[in-house]
Amino acid sequence: MKNSILLFAATAMTMSSCTRALDTDVLAAFPDIPEVFLDEFASDLQYQAWGKVTNFSIDYNEQYEGRAAMCIEVPVPSDPEGNFAGGIFYSSSARNLSGYDALTFYVKSSISASMTAGIGNFGDTAYNVSVENIPVSTNWTQVIIPIPNPAKLTAEQGLFYYSAGAVDGESYTIWIDEVKYEKLGTLAHTRIQDMTMAGFPSGDIEIGELTVYVNLPDGTDCEMTASSAFFSFESSAPETATVENGAITFHGGREIAVLTPVEAGGSITVTGIYDFAPAPEHEADEVISLYCDDYVNVLSSPFNGYWAPYQTTTNDEMVLGDNHVMHYGSFNFVGIVLGKDADCTGKTHVHLDVLLQDTVEGQPQLDISADINSEGVAAGKVTVNLETGEWIPVDVPLNGQTVIHQLQLAITENTPAYQNILVDNIYFY
């Protein structure tokens, strides 16, 4: 999180100086050219390939309109020159796109497929838009990439990017034409996907990218991923949390905070403020650590095995300065499979701290086991009672086993359902 603070400071300094140095006349100096590719590229445009570098060309035999279209050869996955087609068209200077509300283009392909396209993703831009799974077919169809809050794009270099992969292992061709920015006026109802999250007494959390919806001229919503920097947020409880420059800052308050974008619908709700897990009491040389900010974590894990088909659990790490906390959502069970089996010789227990976020009736419980193999043979297993908002220390005995393959966390048979837990301080001692 120190990096975030430094970044924030640098950004603040930069913005501060920008405020002095750049008035609206200077901003207007960036051209507002709408064209990216009609029959040829706009004069300020450069291309950078992401996938197979030779995938791109201009085809004068296929076009939606005019004389030519962009032609993209999507390679097979085994192509040694690159296993996908992708690239970005960027302005060598920058453009002012704030007067437009969408990037539009026409696309067709030699077979039915899908592609990703977006805006930004170049240089140090804070504003990225990505629309995935855009269907493409053998007929020309128009694609609209909405700009969530055009006012932010006063100096954007990344004008259009794309990526596509093989379909069933086969290569194919995509043609793209009439790529330009437009002011459609018929896009509406921008909203972010509602989110809930845990809050803490102090620290910052980068919001990062959000799932954003914009209603298209046909009344359907376009789902996209967009930078949170597109939006400014208001807080229902500023003493608890506020948002600046894409980061949530906690101020010590304990009231639930609803963070609402000014320029869109939807919200981020901080459902509760929790203390960080208690610091461990063991000396560093007494533990083998997997996930603890007070120790060197010599073990590794993806922290979620995504065990199909019954697991619903998702996970995301919350980073607040030097504090890392693992959040599990939609929880039913999860496997924490170690990257390499842990040699626990001389250790008697594995420890972790668990906090239940949800308020539920009855006694919520959690089964936790330390397994010696992938079949789930447990060295030790405990059942713990959870309490909403309280860190519960858990110590699972290893019962003399010296090799641990994985940990399992699962709701018990009779527990009331819950959705969100936090986990921290996982180590063997």
Partner 1 sequence: MKHCKMILSGLLTLAMTVLFSSCEKEVSTADGSDGPAAPESVSDLEAKGWKLVWSDEFNDPTPDGRPDPLNWSYELGNSGFGNQELQNYTDRAENACYGTYDGEGCLVISALKDNYDGITYSSARLKTEGKYEFKYGRFEARMVLPYGPGLWPAFWLLGGDYQENEWPACGEIDIMENKGYQPNIVSSALHMPGYSGGSCLTQTFGYEHRRFDTGFHVFAAEWDESGISFIVDGVTYKRIEKSDAPEGQWVFDHPFFIILNVAVGGTFGGNPVDATYFPQHMYVDYVRVYQRPEHIDPDANRGDIDPDGAIGGWNESGNGGDSIVPDKIK
Interface residues with partner 1 (CB under 8 A)?
A: 183-186, 188-189, 213, 215, 217-221
CB closer to partner 1, 193 vs 312: 193
Omega prior to 309 cis, within 30 of 0: yes
CB of 104 to partner 1, least distance (A): 14
d(CA 91, CA 97): 12
**SS3 call for 95:** strand
CB of 182 to partner 1, least distance (A): 10
CB of 418 to partner 1, least distance (A): 24
Beta-carbon contacts of residue 169 (< 8 Å; ≥ 6 apart): 76, 77
CB closer to partner 1, 45 vs 144: 144
d(CA 208, CA 306): 23
CB of 100 to partner 1, least distance (A): 12
CB of 271 to partner 1, least distance (A): 22
Q: How many CA atoms lie within 13 A of 158 on its CB side?
A: 21
CB closer to partner 1, 263 vs 316: 263
CB closer to partner 1, 186 vs 330: 186
Strands 209-215 and 221-227, sheet pairing: antiparallel
Q: Which residue type occupies 85?
A: A
3-state helix, strand, coil split of the chain in percent (to 5) is: 10, 50, 45
Beta-carbon contacts of residue 268 (< 8 Å; ≥ 6 apart): 192, 194, 195, 196, 197, 207, 233, 248, 258, 259
CB of 193 to partner 1, least distance (A): 12
Q: Can you read off the two tokens belonging to residue 102?
A: 């969408």
CB closer to partner 1, 185 vs 362: 185
d(CA 188, CA 186): 6
CB closer to partner 1, 219 vs 362: 219
CB of 188 to partner 1, least distance (A): 5
CB closer to partner 1, 85 vs 210: 210
What sign does the CA torsion over 31, 35, 39, 41 have?
positive
